[in-house]
Amino acid sequence: MVKVENSTATRVPLPAFLQGLLPESLSDLSWTDPALGVQDVAWWPEENAEGELGTDKKWGAEVLTLDTERKVVKVTRKQVAMTAAEKAARDSVAAAEWSDRIAARRWLAETSGTAFDGMPIDTGRDSQGLITGAALAAMLDPAYSVRWKTVAGFVDLTAQQIIGVASAVRTFVQASFDREAVLLGAVANGSITAEMLEEGWPA
């Protein structure tokens, strides 16, 4: 509710002795006891009429406009151009938020798992480390073999297969980071969209 007096609207709290009254009673207080001092005053409902905030704008001073026919106060705020420092601060916050969202989505993609010759491979960080260690052993000893636990159970892998698994996982993981880099580039040039966050990840 906004105070209306002498055709002027101002933000003044509704006095305690008027609280609880219906809007129609507050719209014309000529019926009140003169001793209360509000016979020439009214409190009208407010209606937001601001609309969309423009590009590189910020909200400024509030403007209260009377709609005497409807006994409503239309509330708007002036739109003021942001300073260069304010735009830089806003963009910095937005970029940091996007960076966090993209990193989280990359982690999900990176650790979601891949396949090698139809064999499901865990690509979690622990698994990546184990695969790297096995691949190193396979490179040092071409006769090396291992019983490897996959999400579908144990399989026997030769040294060549171990190196193939490691290569497939490395390619998959790197593709996840490559996609993250592309999205961060889109943040930097202002072309990032929510849809892009779910596109282009390795499968």
Residue 148 forms part of a structural domain? yes
Query: CB burial class (10 A; 0-12, 13-18, 19+) of residue 199?
Result: exposed
Which residue carries 């409190």 as its tokens? 43
Tell me: do 95 and 189 sit in the same domain. yes
Residues 60 and 64: their CA atoms lie apart, in Å, by: 13
Tell me: do 60 and 109 sit in the same domain. no
pLDDT value for 151: 82
Residue where one domain finishes, among candidates 63, 81, 99? 81
Tell me: do 109 and 192 sit in the same domain. yes
- The helix/strand count (H/E) of the chain reads as 4, 10
Residue where one domain finishes, among candidates 30, 63, 81? 81
pLDDT value for 133: 97
Q: Give the N- to C-terminal CA distance of the chain in Å, as an integer.
A: 56
Residue 158 in this model has a pLDDT that exceeds 90? yes
Question: How many domains does the chain fold into?
Answer: 2
Residue 58 contacts residue 80 (beta carbons within 8 Å): yes
Least confident of 56-60, 141-145, 155-159: 56-60
174's tokens: 């790197």
Residue 16 in this model has a pLDDT that exceeds 90? yes
Tell me: do 77 and 89 sit in the same domain. no
pLDDT value for 68: 92
Tell me: do 104 and 193 sit in the same domain. yes
The parent domain of residue 47 ranges over 2-81
Residue 7 in this model has a pLDDT that exceeds 90? yes
Tell me: do 125 and 169 sit in the same domain. yes
Tens of pLDDT, residue by residue over 82-125, are: 999 988 888 888 999 999 999 999 999 999 999 999 999 999 99
Tell me: do 102 and 132 sit in the same domain. yes
pLDDT value for 88: 86
Residue 139 in this model has a pLDDT that exceeds 90? yes
In degrees and rounded to multiples of 5, residue 10 shows phi and psi of: -140, 150
Residue 164 forms part of a structural domain? yes
Tell me: do 115 and 177 sit in the same domain. yes
Share of the chain above pLDDT 70, in %: 100
pLDDT value for 155: 94
Residue 42 forms part of a structural domain? yes
